[in-house]
Amino acid sequence: MIRAPLRFSSQVRALWVGLLLPLLLIGQALPGEQSARGSGGLTPEEEVIIGVYRAASPGVVHITSTVLSQDFFFRIVPERGTGSGFVVDDRGYILTNNHVVENADSLEVTLADKSKVAAKLIGRDPNNDLAVIRASVPREKLTPLRLGDSAQLQVGQMAIAIGNPFGLDRTITRGVVSALGRSLKADTGRQIRNVIQTDAAINPGNSGGPLLNSRGEVIGINTAIFTPSGGSVGIGFAIPVNTAKKLLPQLIARGRASHPWLGISGMDITPGLARTLSLPAKEGVMIAQVAPGGPAATAGLRGAQRRVRVGNFMVTVGGDIILALDGQKIMAVDDLTGYLDEQKKAGEDIRVDVLRDGKPLSVVVRLGELPEE
């Protein structure tokens, strides 16, 4: 039987064209999208990331630290750890985290050309988890990275991390600056201030590597992650590059950084604690201990006089309550250390406004230099 050819009404033909046309266009870029891509089919963002990687990755190094320890039979056993770092000048100085090189008996650096060279620890600052090492190599093998300005950062701008996560050399990840002004506690117990938070993937081995902006400038030193699982969950932290720029000359010249020291240990006063202990101030820092012979002791500041139980804790009370430094209101220990680190230097005088037995008192203290641990 011969079938007659099918005939479609104009409405049916229009319906088929409407259904088939999008299918025919799959895989073809729309005019606007095509104009947004370069000649190689890359988006402007992809070109930025590729450009940053090509320029900066040769300056990122893989650091291997070796610690000699003894096993059960008292045999010497080398234990190795890895991290990242980046070249800061053509003399071979490399910036990294203190925890990457701490206690290392030997250090080795793997450069971009895969060559391995011995490195020497030059200086470190545990209070900011920073360290400088040096590799003696020809200048032509070094690619120093440009240091940016972390004070100009804005939440939402691009953040690019390059490092060696899990030993995978020069891995790049991209995200944004998620938050600014975070505080992070160093191993020494002191707060690192103005820490950068980013969602660029950071994993073990990234420590000490650079966090960069879209211009390829270092804006931070990747140092820590928040993770319940041990891997990246999109919350990483970087020490601001301005902190490193401030300390770098000292670490190279002296091997350590100078931090102003008041010579006290203290406790934050909260409204609840003030109520429980009937304190004369609802906020501030109550001095618990005064270092013997330290700046505060020399100036006559007083520490705690007695211990009382608050719930399940013993609290030392009766010391001077610090309300302000040079007229700057102090609400917590973090405020106190932050003001000292950002505004003062060892050897300078500072006016400390306190409450002693409920009465206001001002004491001038000549700041010392924070002793090494």
- Measured distance CA(99)–CA(242) in Å, rounded: 19
Interior/surface letters 146-163, b for 16+ CB within 10 angstroms, e for the rest: ebbebeebeeeebbbbbb
Active site residue 62: no
Catalytic residue from among 207, 232, 259, 353 = 207
Catalytic residue from among 62, 65, 84, 99 = 99
Active site residue 99: yes
Active site residue 149: no
Catalytic residue from among 125, 129, 199, 341 = 129
The catalytic residue positions are 99, 129, 207
